Amino acid sequence: MDNMVKLSVLLTIFVISFSTADGQTQEAAEKFQYKAPQFLYEEKCSKCHTLERVFVEPKTESEWQICVTRMMKKNNLWITEEEGAQIVDEIVGKRKDIVALVPQKKKYADTQLLFIDRCTKCHTATRILKQDKTKEEWEETILRMRDNAPELFYEEDIPILTGYLVERGNLIRDDIASQIMEEKCLVCHEAGRILLERKSRSDWEKCVTDMRAQARQKFQKDWFTSDEFKLIVELLVKTQGT
């Protein structure tokens, strides 16, 4: 009888342990499960740019066609003509909120014009937009610029310019990184080799470090700088991280 009790207890512990472990395994699988892209533009456009960057500027259908055609010319192995047409159809048909209405385009254009008119009189746009600052830091910078040139800034300009710089500051770094990737990564590797891979941050850092070392050995100079290294890694983690 004692043996039967012991056996029953052991079986109960085993079942509970198995159920707990199975639950943890399922939970871990759900947490780290890779979500396949629903649309082609998610797979193709998000590899060199974040989708935030892709959709930040409202566009009409014809402007999307021009944009996708320009991307195809950069690397026609990654986006074929048929895929380009499908991407435009998906964006226009499935994401109608992205196709601009006139008021949306005017608001964005007005903000951009305000930035150019107020900020680029003394600084280049690149110098401004490549800065990595928080909303508070940008506001402090704008207020300091207003103190230097009060005739250029109205009080209502401050929050508009702050919001624009917060948004564009992040996006310009993605733009620079994607340009570096096209010029310095895709020149040696076919698009599929890089753009279909998914890695952790540490794995991408190791990968880019190895490429940097190989390029230095081959060309006897830095193929890309430490700043470019950081930009590339950050973009790869955003778009192809695990």
Q: Taking each helix axis from N to C terminus, what angle separates 102-119 and 157-184, rounded to the nearest 10 degrees?
A: 90
Contact between 72 and 79 under an 8 Å Cβ cutoff? The reply is: yes
State the pLDDT at residue 168. Answer: 79
Using CA atoms, how far apart are residues 87 and 39, in angstroms rounded to an integer? 8
* Helix (H/G/I), strand (E/B), else coil: 59: strand
Spatial CA neighbour of 48 closest among 171, 192, 166, 195: 195
* Helix (H/G/I), strand (E/B), else coil: 220: coil
Using CA atoms, how far apart are residues 174 and 51, in angstroms rounded to an integer? 11
- Indicate the DSSP class of residue 241: B
Spatial CA neighbour of 142 closest among 162, 171, 120: 162
Q: Which range has the top average pLDDT, 6-15, 34-43, 213-222?
A: 213-222
Contact between 119 and 128 under an 8 Å Cβ cutoff? The reply is: yes
Using CA atoms, how far apart are residues 242 and 4, in angstroms rounded to an integer? 49
Using CA atoms, how far apart are residues 84 and 67, in angstroms rounded to an integer? 10
Hey, what amino acid is at 127?
A: R
Q: What mean pLDDT do residues 211-234 have?
A: 81
Q: How far is residue 34 from each of residues 5, 107, 189, measured CA to CA in Å?
A: 45, 37, 25
Using CA atoms, how far apart are residues 6 and 12, in angstroms rounded to an integer? 10
pLDDT tens across 125-147, in order? 767 876 778 899 999 999 999 99
Q: What is the pTM (predicted TM-score) of this model? A: 0.46
pLDDT tens across 3-34, in order? 554 445 444 444 444 444 444 444 444 443 44
Domain ranges, ordered by start, for the chain? 40-94, 101-189, 197-242
Spatial CA neighbour of 61 closest among 103, 94, 39: 94
Using CA atoms, how far apart are residues 163 and 139, in angstroms rounded to an integer? 9
Using CA atoms, how far apart are residues 200 and 240, in angstroms rounded to an integer? 8
pLDDT tens across 55-111, in order? 777 788 888 899 899 888 877 778 888 999 999 988 888 766 666 555 555 566 678
Average pLDDT, the chain: 75
Contact between 87 and 44 under an 8 Å Cβ cutoff? The reply is: yes
Spatial CA neighbour of 180 closest among 8, 48, 3: 48
Contact between 229 and 208 under an 8 Å Cβ cutoff? The reply is: yes
